[in-house]
Amino acid sequence: MDEIDIRFCCESFTKYSNLINKTDEIICPECSKHYVNIKETLKIPINREKILRKEVELFFEKLELSNINKCIERQFNEITFQIDIQCESLIEKINNYRIELIEKVKKNRNDIIRQLDKSKIVNKISKNLYIEEFEKTKNLFDKLKIEEDTKQKLKEKERMENEIKDEIDKYKFLKPEKNIEIEEIVGVFVATKLLKKNLTRESIQNGYFKYYLI
C-alpha cells in the first residue's frame, strides 16, 4: 500500500506512505510550490482507483492466506481430537477399574476356596475310601458303624457346604442406582449462539450465549 504512487495536481507523484499520518494540508512534498489537501488528493479518481486496486489485491491475499477450508478442517479436527481424548481417558479409567474389581472378585473367591480346602471334614470324606473300607468289612455291625460314621460326616459336610453357599450369596455386583446418561460421562457436542445481537466482547465472555445440542 505504502508504495502506491499518488498524483498531485502539479502532475508530480509521491508515495502513499508520505501522506498517511499527516495533517490535512501539507506543502507539496515534490515541488513545494503549493498546498495539498490530502483527503481531496486521495479522492481524485486516478488515485482512488490505485488505492482500491491495491486494497482488492491485498484483500485477495488476506483471504487466500486465511483459507476458509483449512479453518473448517482445523476447527472440526480439534473437536474430534478432544472427543477422542476424552473417550480414551474414560475407557482407560473404566478398564483400570474393571481390573481392580476383577482382582477383588478373584481374591474373595480364592479365600473361600482356601477355606474349603483347609476343612478337615471335606478332605477326610472320600467315596472311594468309603467303598474300599466297606468292601473289606465282613461283619454286619462293623458295616453299620462305617455307614453311621460316614453318614454323620456327610451331614457335617453338607452343613458346611450350606454355610459356604449362604456366604457366597452375600457377594454381589451392584450396578449404580442412578441411571447415568452417557452424555453426563462423556460430554456433548454443542453449538453456541448469542442470545442478543450487538454484544460487546466483554458481555460475550460473561456468558451471554446459549448452548444448543447437536
Interface residues with Zn ion (CB under 5 A)? 8, 10, 12, 28, 30-31
Q: Least distance from C-beta 28 to Zn ion, angstroms? A: 3
Contact predicate 50/42, CB 8 Å? no
Q: Least distance from C-beta 17 to Zn ion, angstroms? A: 17
Amino acid at residue number 166? D
When the beta carbons of 28 and 164 are compared against Zn ion, the nearer one is 28
Contact predicate 54/1, CB 8 Å? yes
Contact predicate 199/208, CB 8 Å? yes
Contact predicate 192/210, CB 8 Å? yes
When the beta carbons of 29 and 153 are compared against Zn ion, the nearer one is 29
- Grid cell, residue 153, equals 460326616
Q: Least distance from C-beta 41 to Zn ion, angstroms? A: 10
- Beta bridge partners of residue 190, listed in sequence order: 213
Q: Least distance from C-beta 52 to Zn ion, angstroms? A: 23
d(CA 2, CA 18): 8
d(CA 211, CA 209): 7
When the beta carbons of 41 and 50 are compared against Zn ion, the nearer one is 41
When the beta carbons of 38 and 125 are compared against Zn ion, the nearer one is 38
State the distance between the two ends of the chain, measured CA to CA, in whole angstroms: 45
Which residue in the block uniquely carries the three cell numbers 447437536?
A: 214
Q: Least distance from C-beta 10 to Zn ion, angstroms? A: 3
When the beta carbons of 4 and 8 are compared against Zn ion, the nearer one is 8
Amino acid at residue number 22? K
When the beta carbons of 44 and 121 are compared against Zn ion, the nearer one is 44
Angle at 105 between CA 101 and CA 109, to 5 degrees: 170
Q: Least distance from C-beta 58 to Zn ion, angstroms? A: 28
